[in-house]
Chain A
C-alpha cells in the first residue's frame, strides 16, 4: 500500500528520471516555453558547447516581453530591443524551435498562449525562464519558473536537476462575494501568508472558491503564486479544464483525447494526503483588494486605509513599510478610495484574457475615463485581441478613452516603451508593485480588471461595487 499522495506528489513521482545519492532528482520536463528576454544566453551556451535541442515537439517560443504594442509593421525602434527580438528568431531557426514571432497571428504573452494553443496540459511539467510560469498550474500542471542556465539544461537534456519542494495546501471555502474575482482572491492569500510565505513549497489550491472560478480566473490565481514565494500553484483539473482545452490546436485529438481525459481525471490529491503546511481562508470575508505598497503582500480591502508602520510587529517590517510609503507618496490613515491615480493599465499574464476584458468593458460601457487619466489595454494574445474585436469590446474601450493596443507584456514590466512616468500613480491589473517595476519612480496599485476600469472612470481608486450594474 502506498500512502496517500498529493496532486504535486503524483506529478513529481511520474517525472523522476533518476535520483542521485544526495536525494536530488533528475526531473523530466514535458513542456518548455521560451521568450526573447531570458533565452539568448541559454542558446549561446548550447552553441558554445556544441549541444543540440533535445525535443522540438516539447518546446515553443514567442516574442512578448520586449515587443511594441503599437503598430508592429513599423518594426522596433530601440536597437537593443530589436536585436533581442531578432536574436530569438535567429536562435529558433538555428535550433529548429517552433516560434510565434512578433507578427504571427498566434503571438501573445507566453503564459496566455501556452494554454490557448493547448500546449499546456494537465499532469505535465512545464517550465519557462519566467517566474509567472506558475500560471499553468491552473491546469493541474507542475509549472514553475527557472533561470536561464536551467533553461539551457532543459534545452539540452529535457530535464532539470532539482530537489523536491514541500507541499502546502491553501483551502478557501465558500463562494466569492459579488464584485470579487480571482485577483482579489490571490491578493488576499498573498496578504495572508506574505511574500515569502510559500518559499520552498508547491501550493495546491482547494475549495469552493477555486472550483467556482473559470479557467481564466484560475490562471490569475496560479499566476501570482510566485508573489507568495512559492514557485508553483496547482489546481486539480476538472470538466472546466477539459472543456477549455478541447479542440485547441496542440491539445490531443480523437482517441488520444479520450485517453488523455481518462488519465487527467486521476489527477487529484488522495484523501488523507499530508501537507507540510495548511492555510484556510473563508471567501465570505474577502472584499475587492488593492495594494498600497511596493510588495504584493502590501494589500488591503478597497474599503480600508493606508496602514501605519507603527502597527507593524518588527522593526525590520516597520522600516520596510516606511520605505514603501515614502516611495508610494502615501500617508498612513488615508482612505484608499481617496487616492487619485494618473494611469490605468489593463493587461499582463495575470489579467488580460477574454473574461478580464469583458469585466472591464462592462464597467466602462457608456462611461468615460476621467480627464486626467491615461489608460491603455493590451490583450493577452493576438487571438484574444481579435476575439475581443469580434465582440465589439475594442469600441467600448476606445469610446471610454482607453488606448487599444497590440498584445505583449507591455506596461507590466515596461521593457518596451509602455511605461508609467516618474512619480505617476497607476491602477494596474498586473502582478508586481515593486519599486520601479512599471517605470522609474512609478507607483503601482495592483487591482482586478473591473477595479482598474472603475479607477479609470473615477480618476481615483474606487470600490467597483459602486459602479457595478
Chain B
C-alpha cells in the first residue's frame, strides 16, 4: 500500500448526498479479478452516456477536475455494497483523499486499506471546502495527515481527527496482516480456549470432491 503523508492537489466538488457504491462503480465492472484499471469507469453512469460519450456537466469531465486528487463529497458517501472496487476505482482515477460530512462504515474502512484518506469534517468546514473546490481557478487543497490538517487556498487551516492505528498504517503504508500475524500466539491461545468451550465451532468441514450432477441434495425438513 502506498503511504499517505501530505497531499496537495485539485479538489473536485460533488454536492450529492448518499452517493452509493453502485454509482461509484456499477456492477458490470465487478467482473474483474484485478484491483487495477477501474479508474476509466469510476462513476460510470454519472460520467458517461449509454453510448460512451461524456456527460459534460459531470464534475470529473470538466477542467481542472479531470486531474482531481481530492473529492469533496456529500453526506453518507459510499453507502450500499461492500465492494472494494469503489475505492480501487477512485484510487485508479487518482483520488487519494475524500472529504465529507459522513461516510458509510464499510466504505470508510475500505479506503484505509488502499491508501486513501477519508476525512470527516463538520458541516460549516465542509461548506467552506466545497466552495473552495467549486472555484475552478483555485490552486486546490493541501491535506497533511501527520498534522491532521487541511489547508485551504487562502491559507486557513481546518483540523480533523482520525483513529491512531489507521493513521499509522496510512503514514507508513503498513500491511496490517503482517502486524496481526505477529500476534499469532494470542490467536492460538484464543482458539484453544474456544475449542474447549464451544467444540461445535471446530467440526470438520466438508471435503471438496469432483461434483456429480446427479448427486442428491442435502435433506431439508
Pairwise interchain contact A17-B190, C-beta atoms closer than 8 A: yes
Determine if B180 and A93 form an interchain contact, defined as CB atoms under 8 angstroms apart: no
Tell me how many residue pairs across A and B have CB atoms closer than 8 Å: 233
Given contacts A153-B176, A156-B177, contact A196 B79 (CB under 8 A): yes
- Report yes or no: A196 in contact with B190, Cβ–Cβ below 8 A: no
Interface bits B172-207 vs A (CB < 8 Å: 1, else 0):
000111011101101100110010011111111111
Contact indicator B217/A149 (Cβ below 8 Å): no
Task: Decide yes or no: A149 and B110 within 8 Å by CB, A41-B33, A157-B187, A256-B200 being known contacts.
Answer: yes
Instruction: State which residues 120-134 of A face B: CB under 8 Å.
Output: 121, 123-124, 129-131, 133
For window 3-41 of chain B, which residues contact chain A by CB distance below 8 Å? 15-18, 20, 22-23, 26-28, 30-35
**Interface residue from A103, A146, A383 paired with B106 (Cβ < 8 Å):** A146
- Asked if B125 is at the interface (CB within 8 A of a chain A CB), the reply is no
- Does A428 sit within 8 A of B, measured CB to CB? no
Interface of B, helix, strand, loop or mixed by DSSP: loop
A18–B186 contact, CB under 8 A?
A: yes
Say yes or no: is A415 at the interface (Cβ < 8 Å to chain B).
yes
B110/A18 in contact, CB under 8 A: no
- B-side contacts of A334, CB under 8 Å: none
A295 CB contact (under 8 Å) in B18, B163, B199, B204? B18
**A331 interface hit (Cβ, 8 Å):** no
Assuming the contacts A41-B35, A66-B31, A98-B205, asked whether A150 and B109 have C-beta atoms less than 8 A apart, the reply is yes
Q: Cβ of B92 < 8 Å from any Cβ of A?
A: no
**Cross-chain contact of B113 among A44, A147, A263 (Cβ < 8 A):** A147
A346 to B140, CA, bound (A): 48
B221, A92: Cβ atoms closer than 8 Å: no
CB proximity of A114 to chain B, nearest CB, Å: 13
In the bound complex, residues from chain B placing their C-beta under 8 Å from that of A441 are 50
Cα–Cα distance between A26 and B201 once the two chains are bound (Å): 19
**Which of A37, A117, A317 gathers most chain B CB within 10 Å?**
A37
- Chain A, range 85-106, C-beta contacts under 8 Å to B: 87, 92-93, 96-99, 101, 103-106
Q: Which of A20, A147, A250, A434 has the most CB of B within 10 A?
A: A147
CA distance A199 to B204 in the complex (A): 36
- Asked whether A387 and B220 contact (CB < 8 A) given A44-B33, A435-B45, the answer is yes
Which residues from 52 to 77 on chain B have a C-beta closer than 8 Å to any C-beta of chain A? Answer: 74-76
From A41, A58, A259, residue with most partner B Cβ within 10 Å:
A41
A78–B8 CA distance with the chains assembled, in angstroms: 42
Across the interface, A105 reaches (CB within 8 A) one of B202, B205, B208, B216, namely: B216
Kindly identify which residue among B23, B34, B82, B183 contacts A129, using a CB–CB cutoff of 8 Å: B82
* Contact A40–B202 (Cβ < 8 Å): no
Cβ contact within 8 Å between A386 and B217 = yes
Q: Indicate whether A422 reaches chain B with its CB closer than 8 angstroms.
A: yes
Say whether A146 contacts B109, CB under 8 Å.
yes
The verdict on A24 contacting chain B, using a C-beta distance below 8 Å, is yes
State A156–B198 Cα separation when bound (angstroms).
22
Instruction: Return chain A residues, CB-CB under 8 Å to B191.
Output: 28, 158
Q: Which of A49-57, A208-216, A300-308, A452-460 binds B? A: A49-57
Cβ-based interface call for A356 (8 A): no
In chain A, what residue has the closest Cβ to B216? Answer: A105
A200 within 8 A of B: yes
Measured CB to CB, the nearest residue on chain A to B206 is A98
| A-B CB contact pairs (8 Å), 24 listed | A26-B187, A28-B191, A30-B201, A40-B34, A49-B177, A51-B177, A56-B205, A57-B203, A59-B205, A81-B31, A84-B31, A84-B33, A98-B205, A98-B208, A103-B213, A106-B218, A116-B220, A147-B106, A256-B200, A316-B17, A320-B18, A414-B27, A434-B22, A441-B50
Top 8 A-B pairs ranked by shortest CB distance?
Answer: A252-B200, A149-B113, A40-B33, A147-B110, A105-B217, A80-B31, A22-B164, A196-B76
List 13 additional contacts besides A146-B106, A147-B87, A150-B110; criterion CB under 8 Å. A18-B186, A24-B165, A37-B83, A57-B205, A60-B205, A66-B31, A149-B114, A152-B177, A157-B181, A195-B18, A199-B102, A295-B20, A437-B22
